[in-house]
Every structure is written in C-alpha cells, then in structure tokens.
A and B are shown apart, each in its own frame.
Chain A
Amino acid sequence: MAATHSETRSARHSRRVSLRNILVRWELLLVVLITVVTLINIQQSPFFLKPVNLSRAARDFMELGIMMLPMTYIIIALATVDLSVASIMGMCASFMGLLFMNGVDIWIAVAAALALGVAAGAMNGFLVAHVKLPALVVTLATYAFYRGMAYAMLGDEAARGYPESFTYLGQGFIGDGRIIPFSLILFLALALIFGVVLHTTTFGRYLYAIGNNEQAARYSGVPVDRVKMILFVLSGFMSALAGLVLAARFGSTRPDIGLGLELTVITATVLGGISISGGTGTMIGAILSLLLIGLVRFGMGLMNLQGQVQDIVIGLLLIISVLLPSIGRMLSRRGALSNLNVSQVLQVTLFVIAMALFVAFFLWSRSLL
C-alpha cells in the first residue's frame, strides 16, 4: 500500500545499528569515564599501577558486584529494586556465624546460610508475585525484618575464628603470585553466567519483555509470576553468597555487616545504564559501572580523600550519567533550542549553578584536607 512507503523509508533500524546506538549511548560513556579516572589516578599516585594494590582493591568490590547481578535483572524486568539485599546479606552471614559459634561444621553452616538466603528471597517473591504487593514496600519491610533477625541472632557479639579454608573465599588468591583474588574469579564467573543468561536465553528475553510491558508479556504467555519469584529467590541467594564472601574477607561477622550496602548496589546498577523505568540496559554496562566506581573509590583512597568525599563524587557521577543522555536527546531534537521556554531555561540555569556550587564546595573541602 502506498500509505506505508514513507514509514519504510524512515526505518533504517537493522539490529546491528540499534545495538551500536546503545553502546554509543551508555557503555562507551562509561569506558570514557573509566579511562579518564584511570589516567587521573596514574598521574596522581605512583602506587596506583602496582598489581598488589589493584588486586587488593578489587577484592573490596566483589560483594557489591555479586549483589549487583540479580539487582540488574530485577531493575530490567520489574522497574523496581530489592531493598532487602543488604539485610539478607547480614541475616545470612549472622546465621552462619551463629551456627559456627555453636559448633556446627563451617561448610554445613555455609550451606544453611545459603538456604536461608533462598528462603528470604522466596518470601519477598511470594509477597510480590502472588500476594501482588508492591516490591518496594515488601522489600522495605523485609529490609527491616531481616536486619532485625541478624541482631536477634548475634546480639552485640561478633562471630569470629573462621577456619582458613573459609576465609579463602574473601581473602584468598589463585596461584602463587598472590595477585588474582579468588573472589574476583568467583565474581567474573558469575557475571559471565548472568550476562549470557540475560542476553542469549529465553529467560533473559522474558526479563526485557516484562520490563517493557508486563501486560503484553502476560498476554503472550510469559509466566510473569514465576519469573518474579525466580528473580527474588535469585536475589536472596546471591545476597547470602555475598554475605559469606564479606564475612570471609573480614574474618568475622557482626550483625551490622553490609549495613547500607543496598543503596550502593542500586547506585552501581543504575550508573551502568540499567534504566530504573525498566526494559533496557546490558550486563556489560553494569560491570563497567562497577569498575568505574571501584576505580574512583580506590584512586581517591590513594589520594587520602575521606569516604564522605568519595560519596559526593559517586553521587555527582550518577547525576551526570543520568543527565548526559537526556541533554543529548534535547540537543538532537531539531530546533529544540528555539522551542525552549523561559521556565526550562531557568531550570537548566539553576541546575548548572547548583552543580557549580557543588563542585566548588567539593574542591574547597578537598583543599582543607
């Protein structure tokens, strides 16, 4: 029909091109930022490039990375977050510590902790998928509940004295060089699996389908509720695993272990280009974002900048990374500038001033250090 000729002409979207567009939008931006941060780090500190330092630094981010993998799935498919991940981490690590202190074999305790993680995730999943409560509210409630359980198990005490075979999970290295941390390999293996599942399997396709239009996915026979259940169970299991790695790295468990980590996990995921409105994002983006955050924190640590300052920089990065694509969209819209009205101009100006003040404050605080 003649009516559709113009549409055919307009659409030059082959799959390869659209994939390239995605890379240009997000992952490339992350690579550029990573390169910039790395160059600054090299220039600022002679210690940065030492393999020992790099590998030790990498260990500090592996729990974060492990929890980020299922969070990526949850944000893509459900456009919401699991707020209870750090609490599940704390509860499961505490449970393992409690069992170990009471004479249970460490590996049985580990298995029990992982099972508890699965159960905790299943409870979240049941309330979300079958009782149909909003995920944000459910996991906000279990965020408090599971952390409370951690305190109930250990009280003020800390479980310690773990055998070396266990602490290897978080402290050990592969090979003689003491260069490649075991936890890094664990994370990379898991990331590979999560990435392959997300991008090449039926399950991964279901996640994007649900994230883009849950109703249409349901009408196409996608088992939406089962997928939701699986996601939360997966999140529970991975949080428990991350808890074990963290306990192994510290060599002890206190009930406040990993407190507040859920927000860092969410930050890292969103910075990776996983849209909080669901349906888009890649695993490569998430992993690059973890690398970026790691490099920023490590580099600033080498420069003796305090944790709070590091938080400010990560916050700025997040805002910038969310802002850049929308600025790009604004500029690419033809004639957008002539259509800007006064209030938009005012808003943008205010924002620029606020950012300038922010950066000025940051520089000022830095010179005080």
Chain B
Amino acid sequence: MNQLQPLVSLDGISKAFGGVQALKGVHFEIYPGEVHALLGENGAGKSTLIKIITGVHQPDQGEILLDGKPVRLADPRQARSSAIAAIYQEPNLFPDLDIAENIFVGRQPKQGKRVDWQEMYREASKLVHSLGLNLDVKTKARSLSVAQQQMVEIARALSLNARVLIMDEPTSSLTLSEVAELFTIVRHLRETGTAIVFISHRLDEIFQIADRVTTLRDGIYVDTRMVADVTREDLVQMMVGRTLSSLFPKHDVHAGDTVLEVEHLAGEGIFNDISFELKAGEILGIYGLIGAGRTEIARALFGIEPATGGRIKINGREVSIKSPQDAMDLGVGFVPEDRQMHGLILQMPIAQNITLPILQHFVSGFWLDRNKESSTAHDLVRRLRVKTAGVWQLARELSGGNQQKVVLSKWLGTNPRILILDEPTRGIDVGSKSEVHQLLSQLASEGIAIIMISSELPEILGMSDRILVIREGGLGGEFAQAEATQEKLMHAVTTIRPA
C-alpha cells in the first residue's frame, strides 16, 4: 500500500446504542486498489462500523476522512454520492424487474421525459459483460441464483462509479465455484483501483483474497496486519483473544442400530431416487451445491413439503410423514437453514421459543405452567451456554451464534432420536461454531442420529462419519470419513450425472 493517502479513513470512531458501547476508538483505513478484510466475531462491531461508513449511523465521536478531507455522512444517500457502495449477505433486488432495470432502478437513462430502454439495456449489457458474466440483461432477478444476484448488485455499484465497495459476508450463501467466480471479479476490481472492504467468517477466504486485515473484538480495534504476515492461528487469536484447540472435535463413536432408512425418496421435480440409511450415534453429512435439493430432502423428512414418492422407515417400520407434527411424533427434529425466518420467532422470548414444540408438556389442568416452562428453558439455555440476560429476553436481541444455540435448545427439548440440521453454523462466529460442533459430537455420542447439511467442506469433512453427495436432485456418491477428501467431494458435486 504505497498510495499517498487512503480513500477513506476513520479515526477514533465511537458509537453507543442506549447504554451499549458498540464501537470504541476504532481506526480503519481503506486504500484504493486493496482488499481489506474486516474480521471479528458476531457482535464485535463489524456491522456498526459498516453502517457508519455507509451513512446509516453517525458516530458519537471520531472523524471520517474522504480523500483526506473530513466529511459528515448524514445518510446513505450521501455515502452513495461519495462513491461508497455496499452489498450484503442477502441480495436486495426487485425480484420482478429484470437485470438492467435493477441496475438502473431510480435513475434510468432518459430521452426527454421517457426512459431510453435501448440505451439502458446496452449500458447494462456492457456492465454485465465487463464483469465476465454471461447473462441476458432482460432476465428477471427472481430467476437468478443468489450468486448471480450478487453480481447484479456489484454491477449496480459499478454503474454508480463506486470507488469503495463494501461486501458484507458475500460468500455465506455461495458454493465453492461461485465463490471462485466472485473472487475473480473482486481481483479485477482491485486492479482497476476500487477499494474493497471484505467481511467473512471464513478464514480461508481471507487468505485467498485479502491484502490486509483489521480485527475488531467487543467493539474495540485490535490490530491491522498484512495478510501475508499472519497465520490462521494469529487471526483466530486476534478475534477471540485465545487459541482454539481444535476446530472439529468429532469423537469416534460406535454407531448403533439403523434408525432411519430412506428408499427411493422423491419430491416433485426437485429430487428423486434418494436412498440412504442412518444409524444411531452417527453423523451423516450431506454435501451439495445450493439448489441441488439438499434442503428439500430435509424438508420432506420433516414433513414440511411431504415427499411425493418413495418410502421412509424409522426403526424398521414404514412411516408416513405428512406434517411437522408427524415427524416430531416420530422423534425427528429439524434445525432449519434460515434461523430468522424459520428457526425462531424473533419477537418472542427465548423461553417461549424453546418450549413451542413441546408446549403440551407444560399443560397442568387447563393452563400452562409458566414456572415449569421457565425452568425447562433455563436448563436448556444453561446446558448450551447461551449468553443471555435471562430466558425472558427476546430472541431478536441475541447475536447470531446465540440465536442458533436457542434453536438447538428448542430441538434438544423435544428429545429427538433423529436430528436434521441444515447449515447449522452458517453466519455464526468462530467461537459459537466450535461450540455447535462440540454439541453435535456430544449428541451423537449420546446415541442421537444426526443428519448435517452443509456447504462448508471443512465442516463436512471434519464432522461427518459418512458423507452423502447430492447432485442435481439425485445421489452423487457416498463416502466414508476416511476416504473423503475435498477433491473427491468437489469432483462428485460437479461432474455431470451419467444419463
């Protein structure tokens, strides 16, 4: 970074919400032509910092310099006109508008008073192709994959002549090959002098793409280092203030009896001919690209969208699962991928979230026994070490990792014999992630049969006894832990199925 001065420079930034100090004296500089990673556990203050750079929040103290001159970013519009753009984890497009309309929404090229459609599509095409994408700009955003939608957001940012591009966990819902594509574009942008702020929980990605890394912990600035000078362990230590002994604590357990047999399971037009077995105490990893049908298989097993063909046997007996209640009666629990949409009722207290599937247990006479409910919730919260002020705290006030632990508490409360988890550590911090892994391992050793769907290869390889690969709605292979490698799994996922 030999440039004369940083594009954006934040100095001594502090911000409090109510009585909570979210940021304290944070220092952050972004130079043109660098990818600057921002690292920290959930709740460390990354989002607040981003919101200050993009003008959503104003700092209580400290100074923002743009091209060396102090500025006040009073609202997002001002940040945008200062050439600062951001793209987030979840793309934010209008689903029923096409790519070009999304790129130019609100500022379509005009001819007189009328929109110059030809010009708009020409410009959009140019932009999209400059990113190396092969997409028709008249495609509706609805039919794009998450990765493609992100590319459109990047195109929109570029069309605004953004000089600073903030990417907040852009890779969390992308598959490996999509991440690779994204990184190609990021490198291209770097060459053209764009400054990129990159946030990710995946340390590997930081080593792949970032030039420098700034770490925050508890809202306090820890350090800024050249990526070339740090090791993985350094980063983890900077983030959590201690070293993690082992990321994947899977113990070997003796698998018990077969509890689940799935034969030729099919779901209308999404997956078909899925067969596998699951034993007590076993962790079965399911790996596949997003959209391959993994989540749908899990949803069929839990009765949310019942399977349309095939058979499911639990403990050797054929069963019919037509609703979540059926699945729960059979001892199946399901931790869904999207904890805010499906996993939790954010506006309700932790206790009520945890007891929702087992409310009948607390009925005494006509009404609910709230003391019993509280104490059950309290026990589970303590067992999973959820950081909370109490079980009557609202779920939305927790950090991502703690929210996920509440979802897990909820399902442990049902005493499941089969637990299905869809992306159980998506978007949660390293510390919580490791705790979730330890918990899964412990549950397996207690004899619970676990199905874990994940897009993260290290997690799949580190945690699973067996790995099932799903490809285009069908089985793409099955591997024992010993024989599975990253290369084999990637190969199984990406080869085209023989006809």
Are A15 and B19 touching (Cβ within 8 A)?
Answer: no
> Pick the contact of A2 from B17, B218, B336, B345 — CB < 8 Å?
B218
Q: Is A279 an interface residue (CB 8 A)?
A: yes
* Stretch binding the partner chain, chosen from B250-258, B356-364, B464-472: B356-364
Q: Is the CB of B388 within 8 A of A11?
A: yes
Number of interface residues of B (CB under 8 A): 59
Residues 1-30 of A, flagged 1 when their CB comes within 8 A of B and 0 if not, give 111111111111111001000000000000
Indicate the member of B336, B346, B359, B366 with the most A CB atoms within 10 Å: B359
Contacts of A209 in B (CB 8 A): 345, 348, 352, 356
* Nearest A-chain residue to B410, judged by Cβ: A220
B19–A9 touching, CB < 8 Å: yes
- Interface-facing stretch out of A142-150, A196-204, A235-243: A196-204
The stretch among A72-80, A97-105, A210-218, A299-307 that forms the contact with chain B is A210-218
Residue A222 interfacial (CB < 8 Å): yes
Assess the A219–B43 pair: CB atoms within 8 A: no
| A6 lies within 8 A of B21 (CB) | yes
**Which of B348, B367, B389, B431 is in CB contact (< 8 Å) with A3?**
B431
**B21 / chain A contacts, CB cutoff of 8 Å:** 6
Report whether B20 and A4 are in contact in the complex, using a CB–CB cutoff of 8 Å: no
Interface mask (B310-327 → A, CB under 8 Å = 1, otherwise 0): 000000000000011101
A221 close to B (CB within 8 Å): yes
Q: What is the CB-to-nearest-CB distance from A227 to chain B, in angstroms, rounded to a whole number?
A: 12
From B105-113, B120-128, B395-403, the one touching the partner chain is B395-403
For B20, give its contact among A9, A13, A15 (CB under 8 Å).
A9
For B74, what are the chain A residues with a Cβ–Cβ distance below 8 Å?
339
Q: Within 8 Å of chain B (Cβ to Cβ): is A208?
A: yes
Contact indicator B393/A11 (Cβ below 8 Å): yes
| Distance A209 CA – B349 CA, assembled complex (angstroms) | 11
Residues of chain B within 8 A (CB-CB) of A218 are 304, 324
CB of B218 within 8 A of CB of A6, answer yes
| A-chain residues with CB within 8 Å of residue B18 when the two chains form the complex | 10
**Residues 261-303 (chain A) with a chain B CB within 8 angstroms:** 279-280
Instruction: Evaluate whether A15 and B349 lie within 8 angstroms (CB atoms) in the complex, with A7-B399, A202-B368 already known.
Output: yes
* Complex-state Cα separation, A262 to B219, whole angstroms: 53
Cα–Cα, bound, A212→B241 (Å): 38
Contacts A3-B429, A6-B218 given; does A219 touch B343 at CB 8 Å: yes
B19 near A11: Cβ-Cβ < 8 Å: no
**A4-B387 in contact given A18-B392, A208-B348, A223-B325 (Cβ < 8 Å):** yes
Give bound CA distance, A223 to B218, whole Å.
Answer: 41
A160 at the interface (CB under 8 A from B): no
- Contact partner, A8, options B325, B368, B387, B392, Cβ 8 Å: B387
A-B contact sample (10 more), CB < 8 A, given A1-B432, A213-B346 = A3-B431, A6-B20, A7-B398, A8-B389, A209-B352, A209-B356, A219-B302, A219-B324, A221-B357, A280-B347
